[in-house]
Structure 1
Amino acid sequence: MTSVDVSADLRELKATLASVEAVLDLPALRRELSELEAAAADPGLWDDPDHAQKLTSRLSAVQAELKKLASLHERMDDVEVLFELAEAEHDPSAAAEAGAELDSIRKAVDELEVRTLLSGEYDERDCVVTVRSGAGGADACDFAEQLMRMYLRWSEPHGFGTEVYDVSYAEEAGIRSATFAVKGPYAYGHLSVEQGTHRVVRISKYDNQGRRQTGFAAVEVVPALEQTDEIEDIPEDEIRVDVYRSSGPGGQGVNTTDSAVRLTHLPTGIVVSCQNERSQLQNKATAMAVLKAKLLQRTRDEERAKVDELRGSATASWGDQMRSYVEHPYQMVKDLRTGFETADVKGVYDGNIDGFLEAGIRWRKSGEKSAG
């Protein structure tokens, strides 16, 4: 890569970053930072722990955002110097190092650009993800566990915290279902495009004849509930509460008391379980919060369906098969909505799904524009 090519690439990246900063409204972000820092310095801040937690979380997010933008500007200036030095000294290894850094900068700018597309009402929130095995027996259960692991592994390097609320293990292998939270700015915006039916095609590990098997798993993603959300308290007679002993894989006891809680919302049939806490009361409170989030999402979906019916547009694709994970006779993961694909199946299971998320976010945004 010549210095002319590098200069052109950097001009393009700087222009993209400038447009991202315009959308993010950099002056407003800096003003918000000053206000948050002043509020965080209030000696009485922690008199209201919920408010304090929300404020400090937002402060950290704004600080990280501004730091990331400043760092990208510095890295662009530095990489230009690196290329000039490598070219002047005819050093191929230094040029390769500078090229890798330029690719890293490009990826970071692309990620920020995608973030500007996350402008939905709930995109900034934490989210609750539920993965359920479907048709396909033990392979479907094993696949569901792989998907859970995929999302948890994706979350870690992106700075998202996770909390597993409940896991229902299958008898032979894998899981029947799992519910977990992903916590951090725009967690819902990123992962909401994962909702739908996922399909795996592979040679079964559980078939003694080694035949090819197809398995399915459903992924549900809802935004985490906040105190400002309007949802009435659920009448006690609409909820069945079951308590049971927490268990791990193979039925191994995790707790010696009946601390796990399962809530069933009788009018809708929605079932939520939580067993991650030692206290039955804590598990019930967590399960209730997840149940309310799912009920709120159900209400939103019903309202959206009515609008879509009036508009005459079909949105059933979100509930249909949306991605295939083919492990045999060839290696390929392909999103059926966006067309994005990769042959790195192992990498995908290890959490390398940014390409799918970006393509899904862009696909959704283009759909919103055409619908509008």
Structure 2
Amino acid sequence: MAAADHTQTLKDLEQTLTSIEAVVDVDKLRQEIDELSEQAAAPDLWSDQERAQKVTQRLSYLQGELRKVQGLRQRLEDLQVLFELAEAENDAETLAEAERELAALTRDVNEMEVRTLLNGEYDAREALVTIRAEAGGVDAADFAQMLLRMYTRWAERHGYPVEIYDTSYAEEAGIKSVTFAVKAPYAYGTLSVEQGTHRLVRISPFDNQGRRQTSFAGVEVIPVVEQTDDIEIPEDEIRIDVYRSSGPGGQGVNTTDSAVRITHLPTGIVVSCQNERSQLQNKATAMAVLKAKLLERKRQEEQAKIDALKGDGGGSWGNQMRSYVLHPYQMVKDLRTEHETGNTAAVLDGEIDDFIEAGIRWRRKQQQQQQATRA
């Protein structure tokens, strides 16, 4: 890389990082860390375990964010010195090392920049994800299970805890539906761009004639409800059924009726939970999922009213959002952003950060265009 090239790249990184620091508001971040540190040091903190967990988790997250920003700034300063040293001594080995670090730093700064684009009302929350098999029979059920693995592998790569609340298994193979939580800050804002219909094209392993099959699975992503959310559910508006948890092929996995299904009668929304041993725990988790779905429904209704008043057609970008082609060629392509890759195995193994980043940037651009049109 020529000196002029890396000089301009370093200037661009400097501008981007300064913008990130302004959005993150490092001074405010430090202030909140100091306040939470005082709360965490209080001798009676653990008298309220739920509050204590929130305080310590929030403190750990903010400290991590501050370390990231400070680390990026330090790496940029060190890299500038490294390039100066390489050029002053005309050292090819040091220059190669500097160029490798420049590529790595550019990637990490871009990743941090994407985080700053997550400024929606619920973006900072944890996520509730539901995957459903749609058209395509047993292939669709198998595809739904492939997507479940893709997202759980993605979460593992980032160290994000995943808790599966309910799984409805298909008879022959795969799953009819699954609901799980990704318990990490900004999981909702990050994964919300994954919402929509995913399409798989491949030679069906379930077709004895080896024909090509197209199948579909739907992904729904909603934010987890917090205590500050005003969601009241009168008891006479719900029906609660208990049943025995089941595994693949309908096999019973629990000898007691601990699984819980809650039906919200006014809307017809049905949620289930069977991951806990206790019926009481399953009921509490199912109620939390129901509240999250009602909160999202309320948000969508309010947005629809705003769009109608502003003359927005409300066309959803979510439907038919990504294609996974395994035959006759290998390609995964996002139909909104045009981002694509031929490494289908890596994507299905959870390497979807490039697709998520492209989706977040695309969504931000769409929002800016809409705002400009309405202005």
Q: TM-score, normalised by structure 2?
A: 0.93
SS at match of 2:167: strand
Amino acid at match of 1:69: V
Specify the SS of the correspondent of 1:320. Answer: coil
Partner SS, residue 321 of structure 2: strand
String of CA shifts for 1:46-100, please: whole Å, max 9, x gaps. Answer: 22222222211111111001111121123233444555666647555x6555433
CA contact (8 A) 2:224 2:289 kept: yes
Q: What is the match of residue 332 of structure 2?
A: 333
Please, which moves more after superposition, 244-253 or 354-363? Answer: 244-253
Q: Does 2:269 correspond to 1:270? A: yes
One-letter code aligned to 1:202:
R
Q: Aligned letter for 2:64?
A: A
Structure 2 match to 1:346? 345
Deviations 1:164-213 (A, max 9, x none): 11111111111100000011111111011111111111111111111111
In structure 2, C-alpha distance between the alignment counterparts of 1:223 and 1:355, rounded to whole Å = 22
Partners of 2:109 and 2:138 in 1: how far apart? Answer: 41
SS of 2:261's partner is strand
Contact 2:317 2:336 in 1 (8 A): no
Conserved in 2, the CA contact under 8 Å of 1:3 and 1:84?
A: no
CA contact under 8 A between 1:195 and 1:318: conserved in structure 2? no
Bigger shift: residues 124-133 or 7-16:
7-16
- Runs (5+) with no aligned partner, structure 2: none
Q: Which amino acid aligns with 1:208?
A: N
Q: Residues of 1 paired with 2:202 and 2:194: CA distance?
A: 21
Task: Give the whole-Å Cα distance in 2 for the aligned partners of 1:338 and 1:254.
Answer: 42
Question: Secondary structure of the equivalent of 1:258?
Answer: coil
CA distance in structure 2 between the aligned counterparts of 1:171 and 1:89, rounded to whole angstroms: 67
Distance 1:365 1:84 in 2: 37
Question: Which region of structure 1 is more displaced relative to structure 2, 94-103 or 183-192?
Answer: 94-103
Matched, 1:32 2:61: no
Separation of aligned partners in 2, 1:218 and 1:143 = 10
Residue 284 of structure 1 and its aligned partner are, at CA, apart by: 0.7
Q: Which residue of 2 aligns with 1:23?
A: 23
Percent identity, aligned pairs only? 65
Shift of 1:32: 1.2
Map 1:86-105 → 2, pairs under 5 A:
88=89, 90-91=91-92, 95-105=95-105
| Alpha-carbon offset, residue 369 of structure 1 | 1.9
Query: Structure 1 86/212 Cα, relative in aligned 2: closer, same or farther at 3 Å?
Result: farther
SS in 1 for 2:36: helix
Q: What's the CA shift string for 1:132-180, capped at 9, x where partnerless?
A: 0000011111111111111111112223221111111111111100000
**Contact 1:166/1:179 (CA < 8 Å) preserved in 2?**
yes
**Cα distance in 2 between the residues matched to 1:152 and 1:82:** 39
Larger deviation, residues 307-316 vs 266-275: 307-316
2:182 aligned partner: 182
Aligned to 1:9: 9
Q: List 4+ stretches of structure 1 deviating above 6 A.
A: none
- Structure 2 counterpart of 1:137: 137
Shift of 1:231: 0.8
- CA distance in structure 2 between the aligned counterparts of 1:306 and 1:16, rounded to whole angstroms: 36
TM-score (norm 1): 0.94
In the alignment, the residues of structure 2 paired with residue 130 and residue 137 of structure 1 have an alpha-carbon distance, to the nearest angstrom, of 18
Q: Which residue in 1 is equivalent to 2:197?
A: 197
1:284 alignment partner in structure 2: 283
Structure 1 window deviating more from structure 2 (310-319 vs 339-348): it is: 310-319
Unaligned runs of 5+ in 1: none
Paired residue for 2:165?
165
What residue in structure 2 maps to residue 259 of structure 1? 258
Q: Tell me the number of residue pairs that the alignment of Structure 1 and Structure 2 aligns.
A: 370
Partner of 2:222: 222
Q: Which amino acid aligns with 2:183?
A: K
How far apart are residue 101 of structure 1 and its match?
2.8
Q: 2: distance between equivalents of 1:195 and 1:210?
A: 31
Aligned positions of 1:117-132 closer than 5 A: 117-132=117-132
Asked if 1:44 is matched to 2:54, the reply is no
> Deviation at 1:11?
2.4
CA contact (8 A) 2:260 2:272 kept: yes
Which range moved further: 248-257 or 83-92?
A: 83-92
In the alignment, residue 149 of structure 1 is paired with which amino acid? R
Q: Distance in 2 between matches of 1:277 and 1:84?
A: 59
Higher mean Cα deviation, 98-107 or 283-292? Answer: 98-107
